[in-house]
Amino acid sequence: MKAGTIAFRKRHRSFEICLISSHTHQGYFTLPKGNIGTKETPADAARRESFEEAGISLFINRADTPIIWPKSGAKTTLYFPAIIRTTHHIWPEKETRDRLFVPLRKLHKIALRPSANQAILRLLHREAHNASDALDNSSWI
C-alpha cells in the first residue's frame, strides 16, 4: 500500500494544490506519494513523502478519511487531504522533481497523471457533497 497527499494552500483568495513532476511519465504532474514504511502510519508516510518529493510540511486532520485509489496491477494508494504549513526551499528531491502550485480553477490546464486526477476529483466531489449536506441539515434564519 502507498500513501500520499492532496495538499492545499490558500493564496490570493483562491486555493492552490501542490503537484510534482512524475519520474515515470515525463511531461506529467502527479501528487506526492510513496510506500508506507514498516513502522509508519499511512498519515506519517504521506507527510514524509510530501516533504521528500515536494518540500512541503503539512497538517493532516485525523478526522479526514483518505481518498482511496485502487489500481489494477499496482498498489492501492491512500491520498490524505492536507493543508500546507510550510514550503521549504531545500528538500531531498529538489534536483530531480519540479514542484508546482496550481490554483484549482487552472488545474484543467495541467497534464496530470490519471491517478492524481481521479483522486483530486473524488476529493472535490466528496467536499461538495459534504457542503450540500451541511446546507440541507442546517436551519436558516
CA distance 139 to 141: 7
**Residue 139 covered by a domain:** no
**Residue 18 covered by a domain:** yes
**Confidence bin at 141 (pLDDT 50/70/90):** very low
- Among residues 107, 115, 110, the alpha carbon closest in space to that of 8 is found at 107
Return mean pLDDT, the chain.
89
Nine-digit cell string for 132: 450540500
Provide the domain limits for residue 101. 2-134
pTM assigned to the model = 0.88
pLDDT at 72 over 80: no
Q: CATH number for the domain including 66?
A: 3.90.79.10
CA distance 76 to 47: 17
Burial annotation 90-99 (CB, 10 A radius, 16+ → b, else e): ebebeeebeb
Mean pLDDT of 19-43: 95
Residues 6 or more apart in contact with residue 8 via CB below 8 angstroms: 15, 16, 17, 18, 81, 82, 83, 84
What percentage of the chain exceeds 90 in pLDDT?
Answer: 64
**Residue 71 covered by a domain:** yes
**Confidence bin at 5 (pLDDT 50/70/90):** very high
pLDDT at 48 over 50: yes
pLDDT at 125 over 90: no
**Residue 61 covered by a domain:** yes
- Residue 15, Ramachandran bin (φ over 0: left; ψ between -120 and 50: alpha; else beta): beta
Mean pLDDT of 92-99: 97
Question: How much is the pLDDT for 115?
Answer: 86
Q: What is the pLDDT of residues 59-68, one digit of tens each?
A: 998 888 898 8
**Residue 22 covered by a domain:** yes
What percentage of the chain exceeds 70 in pLDDT?
Answer: 89
pLDDT at 140 over 80: no
Question: How much is the pLDDT for 129?
Answer: 74
The number of domains in the chain is: 1
**Residue 125 covered by a domain:** yes
Secondary-structure percent of the chain, ordered helix, strand, coil, rounded to 5: 30, 35, 35
